[in-house]
Amino acid sequence: MNRKRVGYAFLLALMLVAPAVVYPVLVMKILCFALFACAFNLLIGYTGLLSFGHAIFLGTAGYVAGHSIKVWGFPPELGLIFAALAAAALGWVIGSLAIRRSGIYFAMITLALAQMMYFFFLQAPFTGGEDGLQDVPRGKLLGVVDLADDYNLYYFVLAIFVFAFWLIHRTIHSPFGQVLKAIRENEARAISLGYDVAKYKLLAFVLSAGLAGLAGATKTLVFRFATLTDAHWHTSGEVVLMTLLGGMGTVFGPVVGAATIITLQNELADKVGSLVTVIMGAIFVVCVLAFRRGIVGELGALYKRMTGTR
Amino acid sequence: MAEDCILETRNLVKEFKGFIAVNDVSLKVRRGHIHALIGPNGAGKTTVFNLLTKFLAPTRGHIQFNGQDITPERPAQIARRGIVRSFQISAVFPHLTVLENVRIALQRKLGISFHFWRSDKTLNALDGRAMELLAQVGLESFAGMVTVELPYGRKRALEIATTLALEPELMLLDEPTQGMGHEDVGLVKDLIKKVSANRTVLMVEHNMGVVADISDTITVLARGAVLAEGPYAEVSKNPAVVEAYMGTTQA
């Protein structure tokens, strides 16, 4: 238990000094996608629900944050909270409809509803269509800290990530999380023990959507614009890849997966151009065929084997 | 003597697109009894279970529990009323520990199951009760094991412990000894007998040895309808039953 604490403290220290070595905007982008993947993992890894339209929460919150900060003049902290709540509300609507079905039908309903929202954003005047919502000011945090400075913003983003990660960790290790795992393991049995599984699934969906929204809103602040790409189903697919690659149902898997994918995309984009998609596809195939538990899952299993705890 | 009867069905019918799986079943389960539901394959036993626990909605007919009509209720509501079922295939949570399996059942009464901000350490308060329940079914030494690693018979025992955690008035057991070796069957049989004190058990069971030994009343279903009802000694001599069912398995 203590070793875990030391591990977390070490990672946090590493993140605190990271911008001295790595370009802070890249790390911020990784943190945004890591948070997005963690939120997604709460559903697929701990509740057993595959949402195939999760990008819509990322995208919606991005627009809401952008619009509220740029047009309505919200301060950044308020814009983020407002955007996360908007994503949670959308999650409630989409979730209420989708949880009536399970398995592939659930995935298809989330995809269909997400596509409807995507076309709304494509047409709606306030989103700027394919140009995106540009020139969103970063503003001043609580009216004091100037976020236009990348380093200031970095520590703000890191704080958001740590808070959200803690919240997800707590949710997984809470009485509610226990029921979620029970639903994932054996839904019929959970019902027969008297749990209204639909309500638990819906709360998990809303939490996941809200946190995915927080990731999207933060991303808007980092890049100063909200884009249609974030709401596109490609992004929904990408988050599945990140989560599977890192390790579905592990606490750190999505973080590792997101960091790997984003870094690769970043490194490869100038060198191989559109071949990136092919490389991502190949990684996905190798991951599914060779190490199904993902990077963190396989490492965890290896550690268990080496320490001999069966 | 309406109070004597814990569960009653009236003219229960379930049709699947023209096929009548359950036909006009009127069943009375008396409080404190072990009531066995038997019949050849495809007789509709599991369908009756699914109707009673509302995993399926009846096409026609009514279900009364303690004199109240529960026909329109949802499965989770039925469970909260005290009717808890098991399943034909073992119903455990495979990747949780044995202790956690029982705790899931216990924690509902705490009323904190939606509290996602609370640490699961609050659930440790339930460990004592959970261990008692595990001890009742002889699983206390397996508490920390991941359930998927338990042998089959033990999984069924865990399932019973989990069901008992809800202190059900009525336990519905769907083939509790199915697929078990000789020793495990004896174990589970004794267990059912033991836990039936102060509660009612309705079970679907194929093993006639178990049915003969522990059940007070038997209902024989054939082709979705009730063929005979009564104690084992009486039912086993009924010529219609012998022809439809007993004759083939007891010969």
Say whether pLDDT at A183 is over 50: yes
Domain B2-90+170-193+200-250 has CATH 3.40.50.300: yes
Residue pair A229/A131 in contact (Cβ under 8 Å)? The answer is: no
User: Residue A191's closest chain B neighbor by CA?
Assistant: B76
In a domain, A279, yes or no: no
In angstroms, the CA B200 to CA B191 distance is 14
**pLDDT per residue over B126-185, tens digit each?**
888 889 889 888 888 898 889 998 888 888 888 888 988 888 889 888 888 887 777 778
Residues of B with CB under 8 A from a CB of A: 53, 55, 74-76, 79-80, 84-87, 91-96, 100, 103-105, 107-108, 110, 112-120, 122-123, 162, 166
User: Which has the closest alpha carbon to B170: B60, B32, B51?
Assistant: B32
Which chain B residues have a beta carbon less than 8 Å from that of A207? Answer: 116
In a domain, A74, yes or no: yes
Which residues in chain A (123-182) have CB-CB distances under 8 A to chain B?
167, 170-171, 173-179, 181-182
For all residues of chain A together, what is the average pLDDT?
A: 88
SS3 state of residue A151: helix
The residue behind tokens 């956690």 is: B100
Which chain A residues have a beta carbon less than 8 Å from that of B119? Answer: 170, 173-174
In a domain, A291, yes or no: no
Where are chain B's structural domains? 2-90+170-193+200-250
Looking only at the bridges linking them, the beta strands covering B60-65 and B34-38 are unpaired
Nearest by CB to A178, from B85, B95, B100: name it: B100
For all residues of chain B together, what is the average pLDDT?
A: 85
SS3 state of residue B136: helix
Q: What share of chain B is helix, strand, coil (3-state, %, to 5)?
A: 40, 25, 35
**pLDDT per residue over B173-229, tens digit each?**
888 888 777 777 888 888 888 888 888 999 988 888 888 888 889 998 888 888 888
Report the pLDDT averaged over residues A279-303.
Answer: 85
Which chain B residues have a beta carbon less than 8 Å from that of A182? Answer: 93, 96, 104
Classify each residue of B158-193 as buried b or exposed e, where b means 16 or more C-beta atoms within 10 Å of its C-beta.
Answer: bbbbbbbbbebbbbbbbbbbbebeeebbebbbebbe
Do the interacting molecules here have an ipTM over 0.95? no
Q: Give the pLDDT score at A59.
A: 92
**Domain enclosing residue A122, as ranges:** 22-232
In a domain, A290, yes or no: no
Dihedral angle over CA of B217, B222, B223, B227, nearest 10: -70
Residue pair B24/B225 in contact (Cβ under 8 Å)? The answer is: yes
Query: Distance, in angstroms, between B5 CA and closest chain A CA?
Result: 22
Q: Give the pLDDT score at A157.
A: 92
SS3 state of residue A17: helix
Q: How many domains does chain A have?
A: 1
Q: Give the pLDDT score at B251.
A: 39
Q: Give the pLDDT score at B93.
A: 92
Residue A66 CA: distances (Å) to CA of A85, A151, A220, B36, B126: 14, 21, 6, 65, 47
**Mutate: best of B56, B116, B169, partner A, most A CBs <10 A:** B116
**Mutate: best of B85, B101, B103, B113, partner A, most A CBs <10 A:** B113
In angstroms, the CA B249 to CA B236 distance is 12
Going by the DSSP 8-state scheme, the letter that residue A136 receives in this structure is -
A185:B112 CB<8 A: no
Alpha helices in chain A (DSSP H): 2-21, 24-44, 55-70, 76-98, 104-123, 150-172, 175-185, 187-192, 197-223, 233-246, 253-272, 275-290, 294-307
Say whether pLDDT at A1 is over 60: no
The one-letter amino acid at A124: A
Instruction: Considering only CA atoms, give the Rg of chain B.
Output: 19
Say whether pLDDT at A179 is over 90: yes
User: Residue B78's closest chain A neighbor by CA?
Assistant: A194
Alpha helices in A224-252 (DSSP H): 233-246
